[in-house]
Amino acid sequence: MKKRIFIIAIAAMLISALIVPATTALAAKPAGNLASAQKVAWNLSAAVMPVPPYGSRDIPGSDTASKLIVNQPNGVTEVTITGAMNGLNPNTTYTVYLSKGYTPYVFTGWSVTGSWNFDLVSTKWPGTYSKTMTITQGSGGHFTGSGGNVPPGYTWSVDGYVTGNNVTFNLAYNAPMAGYVATFEGVINADGTMQGTWSDNWYSDSGPWHTTSGSAVKTHTGDIGWPGLFTGTVQPFTFVTDEYGAGSWHINLTDAGLPAGPTGTIYNLSVWINEAGATMLISDTFPVTKG
């Protein structure tokens, strides 16, 4: 009987030890915490740099299929950077550039400031007529200027707006045609040229028009190209994908490999992946602290 009571007591103790308070059972490693590792997002080159020249080698989906893991325990010791690449071309050599940080390119509009020549076609007096103008663009896409016929003849003032990829402007003629206004509507093409249609307020004339010289310029915030190698001690290196378009690479970066600076200096890095001489993947910028 005593032996049976002893066995029951031991069993009760084991069951009690296995029962964990709910608050303890729910405690877990925070999501995204990979033993002090940081996941850094990849971007297709066209998502963070101007097109063109970027985007020509981009492979849709390779940015989300690939992973970049940066591990710097306590933020001050040796940095390990690992790329687990997927969704790439099979059996292909890619080049990895450990690069400086960058600010993503953001297109903010077009500037049409400059000298322009353009031709218009008249339906009232059939033929092609050449004109020239010099304009200056201010805030809000508003631009003004002056111009005249080619060869020299009537002159006029210009007043217009750029909205997105669209352009509208009026030519208000000077004496002896004061009161005559030609209205132009059009689009700015990817190469900066313009084209569209026009009409006037006197003769019910209209037709197409297009620029023959001059080019609108894209305005932007951020960088427009590669920021350069992060440090000369880490030169570009390559990896080769398998038959499924997967591959990996790994690099350790010690304090000795960081640029000169006092302890605690924070450096910004990014990783760029090239193929056939063109960038196709660019990581987000991430910080590294000198120990």
Interval 117-157: pLDDT, tens: 999 999 999 999 999 999 999 999 999 999 999 988 899 99
188 and 240 inside one domain: no
pLDDT at 253: 86
Q: Write out the E strands in the chain.
A: 37-40, 42-44, 67-71, 79-85, 93-100, 106-111, 114-122, 127-137, 142-150, 155-163, 166-173, 181-188, 194-200, 206-213, 217-221, 237-240, 247-253, 266-275, 278-283, 286-289
* Mean pLDDT, residues 183-203 taken together: 97
Q: Report the candidate in 219, 241, 218, 222 with the shortest Cα–Cα distance to residue 282.
A: 222
116 and 206, same domain (yes or no): yes
Query: Which of the listed residues 180, 200, 220 is the one where a domain comes to its end?
Result: 220
The single-letter DSSP state of residue 179 is: T
Domain end among 220, 241, 268: 220
- CATH classification at residue 58: 2.60.40.10
What pLDDT is stored for residue 65 in this prediction? 98
- What number of residues does the chain have? 291
* Token reading at 246: 């997967």
Phi, psi of 257 (to 5 degrees): -90, -5
Domain membership flag for residue 27: no
More confident residue, 284 or 31: 284
Do 232 and 210 lie in one domain? The reply is no
Please identify which residue in the block is written with the tokens 């010791």: 77
The reply to whether 46 falls in a domain is: yes
With CA atoms as reference, report the closest residue to 272 among 97, 82, 100: 97
Give the per-residue pLDDT at 183: 98
What's the pTM value of the predicted model, to 2 decimals? 0.75
Q: Is 12 helix (H, G, I), strand (E, B) or coil?
A: helix
Asked if residue 8 has pLDDT above 70, the reply is no
Pairing label, strands 93-100, 237-240: antiparallel
Please identify, among 172, 202, 220, the residue that sits at the C-terminal boundary of a domain: 220
Residue type, 94: Y
219-251 pLDDT tens trace: 999 999 999 999 888 999 999 999 999 999 999
Contact (CB, 8 A) for 251 and 71: no
- Report the chain's C-alpha Rg in angstroms: 32
The per-residue pLDDT for 31 is 42
- The domain containing residue 157 runs over which residues? 108-220
pLDDT at 193 over 70: yes
Do 137 and 99 share a structural domain?
no
pLDDT of residue 226: 98
- Provide the pLDDT for residue 40: 97
Question: pLDDT at position 3, please?
Answer: 46
Residue 19 falls within a domain, yes or no?
Answer: no
Residue 76 confidence class, pLDDT cut points 50, 70, 90: low
Nearest to 102 by CA among 285, 234, 287, 289: 285
Strand 278-283 with 155-163, pairing: unpaired
Q: What is the mean pLDDT of the chain?
A: 88
Task: Look at the chain and report how many structural domains it folds into.
Answer: 2
Here the CATH number for the domain that contains residue 179 is 2.40.128.120
User: Cis before residue 287, ω within 30 degrees of 0?
Assistant: no
Is pLDDT of 20 > 90?
A: no
In three-state secondary structure terms, 13 is helix
Same-domain check for residues 214 and 116: yes
4 part of a folded domain: no
Share of the chain above pLDDT 90, in %: 75
| Pair (126, 209) in one structural domain | yes
Which residue would you say has higher pLDDT here, 6 or 73?
A: 73
Give yes or no: residues 63 and 131 share one domain. no
Residues 112 and 197 occupy one common structural domain: yes
Q: What does the pLDDT read at residue 291?
A: 75
- Residue tagged 């003004």 (tokens): 144
Residue 10 has pLDDT above 80, yes or no: no
Residue 119 and residue 204 in one domain: yes
